[in-house]
Amino acid sequence: MNKKTFPKGVHPPDKKELSKEFKIEFFPPGKTVVIPLHQHTGAPAEPLVKKKDRVLKGQKIGEAKGFISANIHSPVSGTVKSVEPHVTPLGKNVLSVIIENDGEDELFPEIKPLKDDPFSYSPEEVRNAVREAGIVGLGGAAFPTSVKLSPPKEYPVDTVILNGAECEPYLTTDYRLMLEKTDEIIAGAEILKETVGASKIYIGVEDNKEDVINLYEEKLKGRSDFEVAPLKTKYPQGGEKMLIKAILGREVPTGGLPFHVGVLVQNVGTTYAVYETLKTGMPLIERVLTVTGEGVKEPKNLQVRVGTMFKDIIEYAGGYVGKPGKLIMGGPMMGISQWTDVVPVLKATSGILVIPEEELPKKKEYNCIGCNSCVEHCPMNLVPTRIVVLSKNERFEDAKSWGLMDCIECGTCSYVCPANIPLVHWIRFGKSGYIKLRKKSEK
């Protein structure tokens, strides 16, 4: 097997054995669901419903505002209890539609596919259907998919890369999807290829998922337009720039996007969601996620409606083991720590991870010892320690000139730092400082 990879990176323990054997189970939504109107990159959606309105499953309840935004739909039938701010796993209070679920799952009558055959959509019809369905990147970034499917005409896309790396430790969402929804993912990839006018598809899969690699090699036997690209298991192999470098040897330029080098990268879960929407007409109201970690009794892979509370999912997974030390949305490297489990699943919630208190390393922070380890491992070839010093001193323009905005926030530098300096925290601080500075100067 010819395994591809990118320079640098790290090898954290993958811990996928906790959940990888468990098939995807359907988890029914609770009595109340909380649907934030801003759970994607770009502008928040505007509410289309008010208190006491009756809503049906699949009904649009939030309208995308602007090109980079996403529609929001009701995941259940029931009555709107309120439209008010609610805390989300992204750490902010966000205007949300709170719905009392009637348990009937009564479908909105307009939910039906535009066409009987998902392969008969024109590229424009695919983009419109994906936009209408509120599909966003399900790998974590939640970038509106219809925007990704509309690259500028001067940058023709020749290759689609399906991201099946799932390099974050613990998570097995994409692994299970690739095993259980193989034909749908292959069909979705073909539709994406036609939509952007590409001629070749790769599915990139790390070699810790050998069964997936073998399955797709068998399914795609004899095809020259669709290949499996086995990847070395290394973090952050699933970063878009790392995947493109590993599979095609192309370098996305500083500040650039994959289309600048003729590539569309889509997560396998997003690809599945696109296919399902074209086939059934159902918007994005549910997703698959992994609930896992040494801090939950029975790790699982679950199909969950958006708006379901973390607390209910953890209870379904047997509850906490001991005292929870850290609750994270996503994986341990790029995930977001939570201070409460009373937060809803978002479209981009790929996992709920619980680390018990006794397993948390007691990390005292020291001064930088100049060991260079962060530089040696940074997959973006940055000098994290330098960027952090400049960010801490609020020298945001200088930090930018050292590549601040090129950082993909993969967490590799923090992971390897022997002085336990929270480098990514300071880089995020630097990025938000730089953005504020730019906005101020544009006024």
Q: What residue ranges bind ligand SF4 (CB under 6 A)?
A: 368-374, 378-380, 382, 384-385, 407-413, 416-419, 421, 423-424, 427
In whole angstroms, the minimum distance from the beta carbon of 18 to ligand SF4 comes to: 25
In whole angstroms, the minimum distance from the beta carbon of 389 to ligand SF4 comes to: 9
Instruction: Give phi and psi for 413, each to the nearest 5.
Output: -65, -45
In whole angstroms, the minimum distance from the beta carbon of 267 to ligand SF4 comes to: 19
Q: Which residues pair with residue 78 across a beta bridge?
A: 55, 101
- The H-or-E segment that residue 304 falls in is strand 300-305
Residue whose CB is less far from ligand SF4, 250 or 425 = 425
Complete edge-to-edge strand list for the sheet that includes strand 54-55: 32-36, 93-101, 78-87, 54-55
Residue whose CB is less far from ligand SF4, 214 or 432 = 432
Residue corresponding to tokens 């298991």: 233
Residue whose CB is less far from ligand SF4, 115 or 232 = 232
Find how far residue 319's CA is from the centre of its chain: 25
Residue whose CB is less far from ligand SF4, 338 or 391 = 391
Residue whose CB is less far from ligand SF4, 233 or 385 = 385
Query: Which candidate, 320, 312, 318, places its Cα nearest to that of 300?
Result: 318
Residue whose CB is less far from ligand SF4, 295 or 403 = 403
Angle between helices 268-280 and 182-196 (to 10 degrees): 90
In whole angstroms, the minimum distance from the beta carbon of 407 to ligand SF4 comes to: 3
In whole angstroms, the minimum distance from the beta carbon of 76 to ligand SF4 comes to: 38
Task: Give the Cα separation of 408 and 424 in Å (integer).
Answer: 10
In whole angstroms, the minimum distance from the beta carbon of 234 to ligand SF4 comes to: 13
In whole angstroms, the minimum distance from the beta carbon of 421 to ligand SF4 comes to: 5
List, in order, residues 6 or more apart from 85 with CB less than 8 Å away: 93, 94, 95, 96
Number of C-beta neighbours around residue 256 at 10 A: 13
- For residue 286, give Cα distances in angstroms to 28, 76, 324, 358: 10, 10, 26, 33
Residue whose CB is less far from ligand SF4, 20 or 431 = 431
